[in-house]
Amino acid sequence: MRFTKMHGIGNDYVYVNCFAEELPAPPEKIAPLVSDRHFGIGGDGLILITPSEVADARMRMFNADGSESEMCGNGLRCVAKYVYDHDIAKKETLALETGAGVLTVQIDAANGLAEQVRVNMGQPILDGKKIPTSFDTNPVVNQKIEIGGRTFEVNCVSMGNPHCVIFVEEATDELVLKFGPQIERSSYFPARVNVEFVEVISPTEVRQRTWERGSGETLACGTGASAVCVAGVLTGRTERKILNHLLGGDLHLEWNEADNCVYKTGGATEVFTGEWTPPASLT
């Protein structure tokens, strides 16, 4: 299986161009194998770039545990770069199909290659039942949950996929690595959840660490950064335009008042290409 390794500020996936490549096995079986950083290629998951009947291309994303997610913000910037750089659609405005609908992406290119990518991430979903959470409010802000003997105040947002945003003084290893997985799998979140621990530096600047559903801690999460932008406004902590520092780099976010959509801008990088041989047990 030919693949391309790409990352969006350190959130790295194995990408397969399904315009040209046929998968040797179901993607949910391939994802855990290729994601393994010791026995596989190494990555936070698997992303398929496939033909679409309604857009320039379609993204399907699988976490490292093989579960499929509706959306991936960093992944979508990389898909846009791949589609543009590899001439699948050489357009500076691309329509890309995701599990969260068709999203519009703006490419800022130099010498025929995409550099910065701005994604219209769509409108956040704030209804507790639709996110989904066990809370029956709209929006879900400043709600208390009990996890492992501690109380957390959570703010929940779906950007197509579910997020639980927790504002903290310091996003420590204990919070991310011990409580992140417990929150992910707690009964408050029937479809599991991505968890963001966020330090507010100023009304226009935050720092985020993420425990991702199905992949563990990652260096960045684009849908998470979008959810943080929304949660910051809803709780009165931040303005509508913020700079978010993630472990792997920075993202610019805006929750636009006029159209209620979140806009996310950042880089996308192609690292290497290769060929992966599936184990005999898989084929």
Ligand X SMILES: N[C@@H](CCC[C@H](N)C(=O)O)C(=O)O
Give residues in contact with ligand X (CB under 6 A).
Answer: 11, 63, 69, 72-75, 161, 194, 212-215, 218, 221-224
Q: Are strands 45-50 and 11-17 parallel, antiparallel or unpaired?
A: parallel
The residue (of 40 and 278) whose beta carbon lies closer to ligand X is 40
Give the number of residues written for the chain: 283
How far is the CA of 271 from the CAs of 83, 93, 170, in angstroms?
A: 15, 23, 32
User: Measured between alpha carbons, how far is 202 from 73 in angstroms, rounded to an integer?
Assistant: 24
Q: Is 11 annotated as a binding residue?
A: yes
Question: Binding site annotation covers 40?
Answer: no
* Closer CB to ligand X, 100 or 278, in the complex: 100
| Residue 143 main-chain phi, psi, to 5 deg | -90, 140
Q: Which residues are catalytic?
A: 72, 221
In whole angstroms, the minimum distance from the beta carbon of 264 to ligand X comes to: 9
Q: How far is the CB of 62 from ligand X (least distance, A)?
A: 9
- Residue 260 DSSP label: -
We find the least distance from the C-beta atom of residue 257 to ligand X, in angstroms, to be 23
Q: At what angle do helices 73-85 and 222-234 cross, to 10 degrees?
A: 130
| β-strands 216-218, 205-212 pairing | antiparallel
Q: 233 or 268: whose CB is closer to ligand X? A: 268
3 state SS of 185? coil
Q: Is position 213 annotated in a ligand binding site?
A: yes
Give least dist CB 16 to ligand X, A: 16
The verdict on whether residue 223 carries a ligand-binding annotation is yes
Known binding-site residues for substrate equal 11, 63, 73-74, 161, 194, 212-213, 222-223
